[in-house]
Amino acid sequence: AQTVTQSQPEMSVQEAETVTLSCTYDTSESDYYLFWYKQPPSRQMILVIRQEAYKQQNATENRFSVNFQKAAKSFSLKISDSQLGDAAMYFCAYKNRDDKIIFGKGTRLHILP
Amino acid sequence: DSGVTQTPKHLITATGQRVTLRCSPRSGDLSVYWYQQSLDQGLQFLIHYYNGEERAKGNILERFSAQQFPDLHSELNLSSLELGDSALYFCASSEAPGLAGYNEQFFGPGTRLTVL
């Protein structure tokens, strides 16, 4: 069975600095998607970035980028120039061809002014 | 605003009762997903419907059932409620299932269920 592990329950970063959130997953499949979702205090789930497993190039969305290491089954999220609005719970998620979606337990990110 | 609507926003009920949560997907989206977010279990995938048919099941209890109607709205029915069913229930929608097409899931604001 597939699993998603986020080993950092909480992290803190100084405003304007860079932070990296870790995610590892376990699967025997070759085709899948990986996602990072943000959940601010409003509880709304917001897609931050996604990565197709067949693409070697790391996805980037403005200040958010991923380091996708398929062989190592690692999918970390880097947030550059951290802003106060980035404070939230971040979930790593895995989705396969059969539409099974598995979320990690989340990492709570604090931004220090 | 994601375009996905969920009603009601809050629901308080007693153990043993039955409730129905409703979700309307974004215009044009054929897939609807249901998730449960509780403090101890995290975010769990429950079930996925595509164009009226069940496509994938996750950790959904037998006391729970769902359906998607011809107008593509979906309902999640929770019966014989227990204290442990208290959670935030999210609905999400996307254009297409599987790995084809644009896969982003748009989440609704959630329904907060409290079982007393």
Question: What is the gyration radius of the CA atoms in chain B, in angstroms?
Answer: 13
**What value does the mean pLDDT take over residues B21-49?**
91
Site of tokens 């375009």: B3
The CA-to-CA distance between both ends of chain B, in Å, stands at: 31
Query: Are residues B105 and B2 in contact, defined by beta-carbon separation less than 8 angstroms?
Result: no
pLDDT bracket for residue B74 (50, 70, 90): very high
Size of interface A-B (CB pairs under 8 A): 53
Asked if A100 has any chain B CB less than 8 Å from its own CB, the reply is: yes
A90 Cβ neighbours under 8 A, 6+ residues apart: A6, A21, A36, A37, A38, A39, A48, A77, A106, A107, A108, A109
For A72-97, the pLDDT digits (tens) are 999 999 999 999 999 999 999 998 87
The pLDDT assigned to B97 comes to 66
Q: Is the Cβ pair B45, A105 closer than 8 Å?
A: no
Q: Which of A33, A91, A101 sits opposite B99 (nearest CB)?
A: A33
Average pLDDT, chain A: 93
Site of tokens 């989206």: B29
Share of chain B above pLDDT 90, in %: 77
The pLDDT assigned to B100 comes to 58
The pLDDT assigned to B2 comes to 85
| Chain B residue whose CA is closest to A52 | B99
Q: Is the Cβ pair B104, A47 closer than 8 Å?
A: yes
Tokens of A34: 């990986």
Give chain A positions within 8 Å (CB) of B38.
none
